[in-house]
């Protein structure tokens, strides 16, 4: 039966490096996510403004005749659509703040962990070096 404790370090004792790099790349992923959401906010904001502008132009059209009810519905639906996208912009801006807060916490945790596990990293590198030296010695003397 295989146990976690027997396999944690992985092949050639690379388990620690894998965990460390995953944590480091988590910061990059968090930044990429925040950038993506920022770009979405810009697009949604532009779209909302354009729809609001379009809704205002419908009031310039003739309110008389058979199309009057259609213009009213178009204006109302366009205003609601613009409002919905503006709400989405606000919620995405809040999400950006939360993602940035998470990223800051992640950076602090990474620094703290880096300081705490530096001795472990040194030990792992020593083990890897000794293992390579041992393997070469075995090959040379076999």
Q: Buried b / exposed e across 13-43, counting CB within 10 Å, b at 16+?
A: beebbeebeeeeebeeebeebbeebeeebee
Q: What is the pLDDT of residues 121-131, one digit of tens each?
A: 777 778 778 88
Q: What is the pLDDT of residue 51?
A: 95
Band (pLDDT 50/70/90 cuts) for residue 61 is low
pLDDT at 3: 63
pLDDT of residue 12: 61
Residue found by looking up tokens 């944690």 in the block: 8
Alpha-carbon Rg for the chain, nearest whole angstrom, is 29
Q: What's the confidence (pLDDT) of residue 5? A: 56
Confidence of residue 18 (pLDDT cuts 50, 70, 90): confident
């Amino acid at each position: 039966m295989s146990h976690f404790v027997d396999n944690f370090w992985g092949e050639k004792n690379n388990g620690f490096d894998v965990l460390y790099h995953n944590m480091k790349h988590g910061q990059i992923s968090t930044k990429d996510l925040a950038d993506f959401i920022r770009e979405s906010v810009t697009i949604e904001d532009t779209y909302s403004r354009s729809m609001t502008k379009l809704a205002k132009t419908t009031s310039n059209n003739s309110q008389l005749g058979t199309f009057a009810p259609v213009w009213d519905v178009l204006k109302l639906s366009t205003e609601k659509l613009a409002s919905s996208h503006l709400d989405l912009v606000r919620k995405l801006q809040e999400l950006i703040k939360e993602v940035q807060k998470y990223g800051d916490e992640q950076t602090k945790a990474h620094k703290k962990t880096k300081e705490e596990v530096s001795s472990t990293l040194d030990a792992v590198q020593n083990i890897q070096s000794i293992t390579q030296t041992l393997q070469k010695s075995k090959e040379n003397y076999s």
